[in-house]
Amino acid sequence: MRANYVPYPRPSHNSISLTPDAAESKVILAGWLVSRRKGGKGLSFFGLKDARGTIQLVATESEAASILHQINLNSTVLVQGVARMRPEHQRRPHPGGNMEVAVHSVTLLNPADSPLPFDPQDERNLANEHMRLQYRYLDLRRSSLAENIKRRSEVAYTVRTVFHEEGFTEVETPILLRSTPEGAREFLVPTRLSAARVSALKHSEGAESPKKPLFYALTQSPQQPKQLLIASGAVDRYYQLARCFRDEDGRKDRQPEFTQVDLEMAWVSWGEHEESVGASRDATGNTTIATQGTDHWRIGGAEVRDVVERIVQRVWAKMEGIELPEHFRVMTYSEAMARYGSDKPDLRFGLEVQDITPHLPTALREVLERRGEIIEALCVRNSSDTDAPFFNAAAQLSKSETQIVQGFQLSDSTDTSWLCQNRVLSDVSGDIQLEDGAASINRALMLDQGGYIWLSRRRRKPEGGSTDLGRVRLELATLAESLQDFTMPSKPHFLWVTEFPLFTRADADKEFLAHGRWSSSHHPFTAPMWQDVEKMYSGDIEAVRGQHYDLVLNGVEIGGGSVRIHDAVMQDYVFQNILELDKQEKASFNHLLHALRCGAPPHGGFAFGFDRLMAILCKTESIRDVIAFPKTGAGTDLLFRSPAKVRTSIMAEYGIQPL
Amino acid sequence: MRANYVPYPRPSHNSISLTPDAAESKVILAGWLVSRRKGGKGLSFFGLKDARGTIQLVATESEAASILHQINLNSTVLVQGVARMRPEHQRRPHPGGNMEVAVHSVTLLNPADSPLPFDPQDERNLANEHMRLQYRYLDLRRSSLAENIKRRSEVAYTVRTVFHEEGFTEVETPILLRSTPEGAREFLVPTRLSAARVSALKHSEGAESPKKPLFYALTQSPQQPKQLLIASGAVDRYYQLARCFRDEDGRKDRQPEFTQVDLEMAWVSWGEHEESVGASRDATGNTTIATQGTDHWRIGGAEVRDVVERIVQRVWAKMEGIELPEHFRVMTYSEAMARYGSDKPDLRFGLEVQDITPHLPTALREVLERRGEIIEALCVRNSSDTDAPFFNAAAQLSKSETQIVQGFQLSDSTDTSWLCQNRVLSDVSGDIQLEDGAASINRALMLDQGGYIWLSRRRRKPEGGSTDLGRVRLELATLAESLQDFTMPSKPHFLWVTEFPLFTRADADKEFLAHGRWSSSHHPFTAPMWQDVEKMYSGDIEAVRGQHYDLVLNGVEIGGGSVRIHDAVMQDYVFQNILELDKQEKASFNHLLHALRCGAPPHGGFAFGFDRLMAILCKTESIRDVIAFPKTGAGTDLLFRSPAKVRTSIMAEYGIQPL
């Protein structure tokens, strides 16, 4: 049968808007024919699905019924008939499930092939992902995937609504930006402008080889444009749902293009004293104020974090019906690393790591002190109620070949083999006798018969994103879940992690502009904590904490931000004296430095990874499930068959050719 | 002086929120010091500007005053003091103009250089555009530019709000898409994936030369993704404020990246009968229903145009305080070309074109008939009230060397020299006597002494976007405005233009996929009017009208859309038999054809050019004035100094090298 295109009347309802109000009235609906069966007394029943739900159609022996029986499932039809409520015992909870339509006439709008590559109604037997990506227009018909796409729109609109209530201005920043001297992770866009052509346009690029091709680069984040925007004073609160691009070949579950909820605010302070924060905040009882060495000062950017909290609160209230606390818990990086072995700790369960150095023999303590190291332990106690859900997992993990560090089970509460036979200790203990006082360590750690313990040695000053025991902790939770001993609490656990080291030894992380001994832990625009500014200038770089804050949800970093450097002198010092940028690299920041010298206000901002946030809200593992037309992990688009070859003659227009 | 970063208190107000409610209370404000003067009695007055307005600061001889006198203008400061209402005679209409702050203390947050490259407070003496683009972060501090950026955000949010009220789902479609076989106007993005690598990933690209580089292309519009999305059934109403990219070197006031308000709807009908539209629509008195040959049927997509109208109405109500009619005027392409000589007629003034063929001698009429041509006239009558504002312009234009066609002034009402001495006619009249009956033509056209007339010959079936007389008409209006004889009405004149020819002779427009004799006037997915489907299949291609609709405002096309082909057989016929695509070109649409065969609903959509819309709303000529960080007309970014050269070693990673 052929598709129909003679004008037909507008549908009067869809499966959602067809409510009992419409009962007994004439209605017109359009949708996909998704099921059919014959009942008794010449009746036939059909499922009519639209983008919102599914309505049952009822037809007697008629031309309409005959059309609906003949055409292929998944064809689109327009039906006219009379709406009625379904008998009470037949009502279904799905959208459209309490109404039906007695069909009088049917127009076939567009017939579907039969069979289709796979059945988009079958949520239980999914085709393999390659097929589903290739025929994404069929897979998107699947209700759960369609639901994700709609939730994404709801969340985006909710987020925008809060931004507008808070006086933010949405500003679109360029996607075609300048390539950076490193060029790593960056997509290039060749242009038909050659160096010579641009030079003729009086651009200051210099008059070199006339054919030298010129490139834009796709923005990796709106970081520089948004700082320049705030420096301009055009707006004091900026936001954007910004598309960003990163050429990260081979990282799991990354997309070459992704979306960031991006914000920046002017007049952000470099800190607030705890007292000035007021009693209401402490009254939540949920706020751990980082006091270690900060003299009761919070790091700056509280104005930003307040807005972020209100956004997250609104989203969770609207999408999940959950009321979150007014302020989220705050934890320093040091504390997070010490207690949970992670800079993005999952607080939905306990299993805290302990520093057992103080319980060790003095001689060993002195060795460790000299090495700047500590010994940490993770215990799963047999008699502990809170550890109980992890006991079987501990048993399983301690026998596993692949465990990160060796786990010991105690034969009784005085068993000290875990201490004396542990390579973690023997590597540094030399001929120090560990047995002496070992029993008292057991008591101090409340170790009991049958309990498990894992040990690890690390530098006292934490580095990186996780420790061995942090990974053991997560593995235990995953195992316990799979053994069904443990169910993750459904309540979301939000956490701010603050006071990260501002700089990282370049040998530990070579990612960003690392020529000298130091690289920026996050990016070179992050401000130091004001208490640490003098340390920075005096060369105690390792001790400088940054005004960076990560937002962590259930062990996943969903966003991060910072107070930025607004002082051109300080920014220049960071570029020149700490990061030791070369001339060309520094030149690429000249406009930023100049903007700071034109009276830039103090400012700070934040960015959420929107795809990851949506994956969490849609309770799916892969961000591909929350993107309408995603690419594979390798960056190929199976639907549009991209990337693709290009004719050499077209490349030539851009001044390039194949290698 | 140095920038300050020791924590300071949060500002309590900005220049907008500081209202008389705050009078006599302690306040904290932050902003740019933009002016200062000394008054009598030791008083000093300062202007403190923030992103929302400007507040006057008053200081007595004090440390605060001394700081404010010493620092450079454009520095950022935090001031603490007491708010008060300004004396009645000193209140100013600008935001913040009725309050002042008696300053007690001042913190210099960030000192500005002096002098700056130009003064961003000086709206009257703008620096040249090159300077302003290079230091865009200074130019954006200029109030009128900042205002445009904020208006853009307001409009975007208003548009989104209407979409959400109307049940639309916002969906982000890919920016990294596949390059098309033509590749014209397209930005390419080289990838680190080579053909060999992708082949190894079991992608179907084929195993060719291992080093053959592969490219994404930046999306020119979300046309294909949005059609696939609607075909999927995941959503029935889609929208997106989509960033699009087009490599149109050298076109005036174009940007390589631009924003489109994009929508698409399922279940769009192929037409509505005039009767079914209902009395309320006709009651607006503003709707010209195109009846010529359409048997009182409107073209399809009325559902789409209704939504577009509601969006435009809301935007004009909110931003301009103007209530627009419920439905906009509709005019066919033929009528627009006949009456206004333009497919985007400016209806703010008259000066209609007339077909004078019926008044010509029979012999000449027959010649024209054989040639398929007509003679048109544009008259500016001396005695006509409506023509009066254009009389001086007509006098000037008729003497201009550069006029498109010759204009004649009548020495008296029987002067027929305009007819007899006109090359437009003499080229075709041969030895036909034109004097006979010429006087009666003057009477029929109501030509009077001193009046002006322009003639032009054209094919009866209109082609392209404008006629000679259409251009004369616009030139007359521009001249009349510059002579201050005529003021354009401020009321916006919206118009739908419909019933465009679906196909254009390929020799007239080679832009899109033109191998055969015909190319698509808009794009190859536009549906024919249902009345013309048979003509299409029977080969009367020229006669086929498309279901395309342009939205025109004051002579500017601000958007366009169409009902799409949902029938795979018809789409295939268009590709194969009319456009005569080659195998490779057709293959690039295979996924679309297959999606149509999977039960795609009838659908249609629309897209606004958002930058152009904002330029109109901001009453500026250039879209650069409504984009935060625009590029020059040539595509260079003077702020980020882009495009730029890239190291050969980096190009090599992408399998390319300079030509």
CA of A593: how far to CAs of A227, A230, A518, A634, B146, in Å?
11, 14, 21, 37, 21
Nearest Cβ partner for B643 among A130, A175, A191: A191
Which domains does chain A possess?
20-110 (2.40.50.140), 349-488 (3.30.1360)
Name the 3-class secondary structure at B390.
helix
pLDDT at residue A206 tops 70: no
Q: Are B547 and A5 in contact (CB under 8 A)?
A: no
Beta-sheet pairing, B257-266 with B603-609: antiparallel
pLDDT score recorded for residue A214? 94
Chain A 636-655, CB below 8 Å of chain B: which residues?
636-647, 650-652, 654-655
Residues on chain A touching B638 (C-beta within 8 angstroms): 203
Contacts B176 to A, Cβ<8 Å? 187, 245, 256-257, 631, 637, 642
Chain B residue with minimum CA distance to A589: B640
On chain A, the residues whose CB falls within 8 A of the CB of B627 are 172
Task: Quote the Cα angle for A511-A513-A517, to 5°.
Answer: 90
Phi-psi category of B54—alpha, beta or left, where left has phi over 0 and alpha has psi -120 to 50? beta
Quote the DSSP letter at residue B128. P
Q: What is the predicted pLDDT for the residue at B433?
A: 83
Residue B635: phi and psi, rounded to 5, are 95, 10
**A139, A215, A601 ranked by CB distance to B646: nearest:** A215
| Contact A223/B at CB under 8 A | no
Chain B residue with minimum CA distance to A5: B270
Dihedral sign computed on CA atoms, order B268, B270, B276, B280: positive
Of B176, B191, B642, the CB nearest to A216: B642
Residues of A in contact with B602 (CB under 8 A): 5, 76, 109-110
8 A C-beta contact, residue A559 and residue A241: no
pLDDT tens, position by position, B554-611 = 999 999 999 999 999 999 999 999 999 988 889 989 999 999 999 999 999 999 999 9
Distance CA B435, CA B420 (A): 7
- Determine, for residues A643 and B259 on separate chains, whether the beta-carbon distance falls below 8 Å: no
Residues A489-542: tens digit of each pLDDT:
999 999 999 999 999 987 644 444 455 588 999 999 999 999 999 999 999 999
pTM over 0.80: yes
Task: Show residues of chain A in contact with B303, CB under 8 Å.
Answer: 10
Q: Which of A201-205, A628-632, B524-528 has the least mean pLDDT?
A: A201-205
C-alpha dihedral, B57 to B60 to B64 to B65, nearest 10°: 80
pLDDT, tens digit (0-9, with 9 covering 90-100), for A422-468: 888 888 888 888 887 788 889 899 999 999 999 999 999 999 999 99
What local confidence, expressed as pLDDT, does residue A274 receive? Answer: 65
CB pairs under 8 A between A and B: 478
Q: At what angle do helices B468-482 and B391-399 cross, to 10 degrees?
A: 120
Which residue of B lies nearest to A533 if distances are taken between CA atoms? B5
Residues of A in contact with B294 (CB under 8 A): none
Give burial (CB, 10 Å; 0-12/13-18/19+) of B271. Answer: buried
**Three-class SS of residue B176?**
strand
A597 reaches B (C-beta below 8 A): yes
Q: Mutate one of A118, A145, A166, A191 to test the B interface: name it (highest B CB count within 10 A).
A: A191
For chain A, what percent of residues have pLDDT higher than 90?
75
Using the Cβ of B211 and the Cβ atoms of chain A, whether some distance falls under 8 Å is answered with yes
| pLDDT at site A284 | 37
pLDDT of residue B249: 65
Cα separations in angstroms, B69 against A221, B38, B46, B63, B117: 39, 9, 9, 10, 21
Report d(CA B172, CA B479) in Å as an integer: 45
Q: Are A349 and A393 in contact (CB under 8 A)?
A: no
Per-residue pLDDT at A288: 37
- Interface check for A127 against chain B (CB to CB < 8 A): the answer is no
Token pair 């029987």 is found at B414
pLDDT score, position B202: 52
How far apart (Å, rounded) are the C-alpha atoms in residues A334 and A356? 16
Q: Cβ contact (<8 Å) for B215 and A271?
A: no
Q: Of A155-164, A253-262, A494-503, B503-512, which gets the smallest average pLDDT?
A: B503-512
CA A633 to chain centre: 16
Question: What residues in B contact A9, CB-CB < 8 Å?
Answer: 269, 276
Between chains, do A602 and B52 touch, taking CB under 8 Å as contact?
no
Is the CB of B157 less than 8 angstroms away from the CB of A170? Answer: yes
Distance CA A167, CA A171 (A): 13
ipTM for this model? 0.93
CB contact under 8 A, B270 and A174: no
Binned at pLDDT 50, 70 and 90, residue A42 comes out as very high
**A258 alpha-carbon distance from chain centroid:** 10
The Cα-based distances of A482 to A329, A383, A395, A405 in angstroms read 29, 22, 14, 21
What residues in chain B have per-residue pLDDT under 70? 1, 181-184, 195-211, 249-252, 274-296, 507-516
B658 touches chain A (CB under 8 A): yes
pLDDT over 50 (residue A87): yes
Asked whether the beta carbons of A553 and A493 are under 8 A apart, the reply is: yes
Integer Cα distance of B276 and A324 in angstroms = 51
**Contact between B620 and B264 (Cβ < 8 Å):** no
A188/B116 touch (CB, cutoff 8 Å), yes or no = no
Judging contacts by C-beta atoms under 8 Å, the chain A residues touching residue B192 are 247, 249
Q: Which residue has the tokens 């390589």?
A: B256
What pLDDT does B184 receive? 67
